[in-house]
Structure 1
Amino acid sequence: MKKTSVEENFTEKQTMKDPREGYTRRNMICLGILFFTNLINYMDRYTVSAVLESISKEVCLPERCSTTQEGLIQTAFVLVYFVVAPIFGYLGDRYSRKYIMAAGVLVWGGTSLSASFMTSYWPFLTLRALIAVGESAFTTIAPTVLGDLFNEETRSLVLGLFYLAIPFGSGLGYVVGRAPEDWHNGLRITPGLNFLAVILILFFVVDPPRGLNEKEERDSSFVEDVFYLMKIKSFLLNVAGFTCVTFTTGALSWFGPTYVSHGLRSCLYQAGVNNVTTTSSLSSTTTEAISTTTSTLSFLFKESDRCEDRIAPDDVSFYFGLILMLSGVVGVLSGMFMSRLLRPKYPRIDPLICGVSLIVSVPLVTYGIITAKDDLIVAFVFVFFGTTFLNMNWSISVDMSLYVVIPTRRSAAEAIHLMATHALGEAGSPYIIGSVSDAIIEDICPDLSCDDIELAKYLGLQRAMYLAFALLFTGGVLYCLAVIWIKPEKEKVDRYLEAELAKYSEVVALKAK
């Protein structure tokens, strides 16, 4: 007698050890490999940020790239990501996730290596944008593999460990990018690690069954998956809230070192330590107007007596990356353990942790950014604590997007979650913030002819960042609203899983007879 799909699936599961049994050697090896690959992901992304000034001076010859052009290097990623992320979400729910991830990491490494050989703006931007093809294949699918390897009791901790790769990778990216003297060589370090990750994924990562009844649900189309997800209110609020988070982190990570460097150079200029090219060829009327503008701008800040004793502008990337790495580790671990400790007793706690932590982070990060030119130590302290609160929601947000969705539609959920949060947020923010900053700089310093142009660029980025901070506060409010729906929508998925388990119990009873 021919077996039904349920019986075949059940038999398949019975022939192997339960893939969700917990911290087995096999599961931990998979976690380690996926963590390593995610680490490379963020290292690759922020090596560019670390050497952005060097890239900008070379690829836009004879002049340096504008702030908008610098931001577009990262934002071009969004156009490709929008196209490919849903495709990989659909494929990840139906075909081998292991081979999809391996192929994606291979493409991503090859594209990243090719970009390091470019010496002009548009070829460099195009290849950096195409990295989205490979990256989305991995980032869309990897969390769903972990979701199927580990049960609900262990998944929060596992996802927390997985997303520790974000602060570690970001910090290492700043360090690695600045290590070689030539920025081209700085971008050639991570592709070699990509190729190692491909081998590890192919030989050591397993692709566990999707939930309890993977074959029975595979016939749904991606459009049906999307309609299903659109009905989950907590999922939609989670996506919207996390998009606000990644918008802020994207802008802060991309422009943070450049912003602080502008402040340091302006401080040095005002203290008479470093000369900036002046506009001696301008008319006396224009020169007088520029001097008036510069004096007005300088009045906004107290003069620093010892600007020369601060860190060198070229060293900012290292220290900024170190702060983001440490705050990310503390933030991710704090959020993960709070969720793990409180969720059994308070089932609505996850979106509340995310919302409150974001709202608290806003004044801290804002004050840190405002004081960067006047008191760098105080600024770095406030940025550390602010980004610590900001990072508390990384693992929680992904866990929420998994446990309110049935297992066979989780790849689609991750695709939408990542497409919106990283594409609209992290990738889109550099271009938007860069464009706003250029407009403000032009208003402050028409034709970029001010004596202290570094101060104008500092103020332009500072005021543009207010948009990101406003969105960050909005994200906190959205998470707080998700408290209303998170519990009933999770319970609905729990009932679905219990029903599927009951079906398998019936199969066991029939086979026993």
Structure 2
Amino acid sequence: MVIHLLAQVDRNILLGFAPQITGELAINNAQYGFLVGAVWVLSYGVMAVFLGALADRHSRPRVIGAGMLVWSACTIASGYVQNFEQMVAARFLVATGEAALVPAATALLMELFSEKRRGTAMGLFYLGIPLGIGCSFLLAGTLGAAHGWRTTFHVLGIAGVVIGLPLILMGDKRSHSTTVQERGAPLKAQLAAVLAEMRDNRVVRYTVAGFVLAHLVYPGISFAQLWIARERGMDPATIAMTMGVMQIVFGSLGALAGGVLSDRLAPRFKGGHASVLALLMLLCAPFMIVYRLVPTDSPLFYVGMAVGIFMLMSLYGSATTAIQGAVPVRMRSTVMGFSMLLLNLFSVAVGTFVVGWISDALTTSGVASPLTHVLLVSDILALVLGGAFFYMAARIQRESARSLPAMGIKV
């Protein structure tokens, strides 16, 4: 969790220093959007697959350590850049290094924890996301205010190097295993095997689809400040503070509660973790829809905001456990990397672009509150499609559980 927190701080620290960096490097809004969007998504999404395959074939702690050294060295380099092009190169390589973490770390946690504790372990790991986002803004306002953005980048990079170096020396328990099948195949064969698994294993395919589609709520996070300021009339500084606190508090609660509830409830449902995921989305859906429709002076506005943040983070522990638990050990990191690729390219990059494009078109056509309309549709699509795919995965799981006793197999 500490490593994930550091990774999220390194990823989001650019947001905390946006005014200073864009001013000093003469970066315009379009360049800034490219820097925090496409540059990261293209590098992180694609490299997650390749580094996931590498983690399945070699020591996962060493892959994490190597990734840490790359992203930390490039975070240090980010503190020395003098123009937009140099910052693009540095951030592209930061994303490349960070792409090693989630696929390798989640597969490692699957090996270290029993089936009854995996959801909780994943929830603790993903706690790094809301805490990292919050800490990046806190660092920008404290260390950054006192010593500047360049020094903050240097300190963060050095901390990553110190943590990453010992990981390079570590092996994993597969190093002592005599079971060759626990190791991944060479890259081309590994990717072919993962695609075959996705094609033949409907539980995995539907769970990955649900996880990706549930992230269609992500544009609502990206456009939150613009939406609330322009169409709900709130002060931008108040919005930033409110959402920062909400992210830390309810994002952390979501990550922890999602993991714990998954461990407690999944054994009680024949559909396992997929049933828990569908249930979480069903319970949160009404509050998230009302959030888009009520005025900001309504308590339901803040309840809906909190529930939306909680819901998204609550999915991570259970979805990761469900996906990796349904595939062979030798391809767990690669499958997770493939999931990250789909999530970043489809829901984050394409989803955010389409929401912006449609809202601009509606504005040009004279439609009132365009972002409200588009974000409401985006949220509904996420809840309906994500929930539907989780439900289908749970139904297949239930049918499999019923068929095994009929074949004389105890479950």
Which residue of the partner structure matches residue 336 of structure 1?
Answer: 259
1:238 pairs, out of 207, 210, 215, with 207
Contact 2:58 2:183 in 1 (8 A): no
Q: Partner of 1:486: helix, strand, or coil? A: helix
Contact 1:247 1:428 in 2 (8 A): no
Contact 2:269 2:275 in 1 (8 A): no
Contact 1:178 1:186 in 2 (8 A): no
> 1:154/1:380 Cα in 2 relative to 1: closer, same or farther (>3 Å)?
same
Which residue of the partner structure matches residue 14 of structure 1?
Answer: none
> 1:395/1:217 Cα in 2 relative to 1: closer, same or farther (>3 Å)?
closer
1:381 matches 2:303: yes
2:167 pairs, out of 201, 204, 216, with 201
Q: Which amino acid aligns with 1:414?
A: M
Percent of aligned pairs sharing the same letter: 20
When normalised by structure 2's length, the TM-score is 0.82
User: Partners in 2 of 1:103 and 1:86 — Cα distance?
Assistant: 16
Contact 1:402 1:413 in 2 (8 A): yes
Deviations 1:130-169 (A, max 9, x none): 3221011112111111111222122222122212222222
Which residue of the partner structure matches residue 485 of structure 1?
Answer: 396
Q: Partner of 1:152: helix, strand, or coil? A: coil
Deviations 1:171-229 (A, max 9, x none): 223333344345556655533332232135346x5522289764245474211232123
User: Partners in 1 of 2:82 and 2:197 — Cα distance?
Assistant: 46
Contact 2:12 2:136 in 1 (8 A): yes
Q: Which amino acid aligns with 1:256?
A: A
The two structures, once aligned, show a CA RMSD in angstroms of 3.5
Which residue of the partner structure matches residue 47 of structure 2?
Answer: 84
2:319 pairs, out of 390, 397, 413, with 397
Which residue of the partner structure matches residue 386 of structure 2?
Answer: 475
1:388 Cα offset (Å) = 1.8
Which residue of the partner structure matches residue 99 of structure 2?
Answer: 136
> 1:191/1:358 Cα in 2 relative to 1: closer, same or farther (>3 Å)?
farther
> 1:226/1:467 Cα in 2 relative to 1: closer, same or farther (>3 Å)?
same
> 1:69/1:439 Cα in 2 relative to 1: closer, same or farther (>3 Å)?
farther
> 1:39/1:489 Cα in 2 relative to 1: closer, same or farther (>3 Å)?
farther
User: Partners in 2 of 1:350 and 1:211 — Cα distance?
Assistant: 31
Which residue of the partner structure matches residue 411 of structure 1?
Answer: 333
Q: Which amino acid aligns with 2:110?
A: G
Which residue of the partner structure matches residue 239 of structure 2?
Answer: 316
1:481 Cα offset (Å) = 1.2
User: Partners in 1 of 2:104 and 2:79 — Cα distance?
Assistant: 27
Q: Which amino acid aligns with 1:106?
A: L
Contact 2:206 2:389 in 1 (8 A): yes
1:237 Cα offset (Å) = 1.1
1:52 Cα offset (Å) = 4.4
1:233 Cα offset (Å) = 0.8
Which residue of the partner structure matches residue 39 of structure 1?
Answer: 5
Contact 1:71 1:433 in 2 (8 A): no
> 1:254/1:124 Cα in 2 relative to 1: closer, same or farther (>3 Å)?
farther
> 1:94/1:196 Cα in 2 relative to 1: closer, same or farther (>3 Å)?
same
1:485 Cα offset (Å) = 2.1
- Residues 343-492 of structure 1 correspond to what in structure 2 (within 5 A)? 343-371=266-294, 374-375=296-297, 378-444=300-366, 459-473=369-383, 474-487=385-398
1:48 matches 2:14: yes
Unmatched 5+ stretches in structure 1: 1-34, 268-311, 446-455, 493-497, 499-513
Query: Which region of structure 1 is more displaced relative to structure 2, 130-139 or 168-177?
Result: 168-177
1:438 Cα offset (Å) = 3.9
Q: Partner of 1:160: helix, strand, or coil? A: helix
Which residue of the partner structure matches residue 29 of structure 2?
Answer: 65
> 1:57/1:226 Cα in 2 relative to 1: closer, same or farther (>3 Å)?
same
1:127 pairs, out of 90, 99, 106, with 90
User: Partners in 2 of 1:119 and 1:366 — Cα distance?
Assistant: 44
User: Partners in 2 of 1:248 and 1:376 — Cα distance?
Assistant: 21
Which residue of the partner structure matches residue 74 of structure 1?
Answer: 37
Query: Which region of structure 1 is more displaced relative to structure 2, 117-126 or 391-400?
Result: 117-126
The count of residues paired between Structure 1 and Structure 2 equals 397
Based on CA coordinates, which of the two structures has the bigger radius of gyration? 1
> 1:461/1:114 Cα in 2 relative to 1: closer, same or farther (>3 Å)?
farther
Q: Which amino acid aligns with 1:225?
A: V
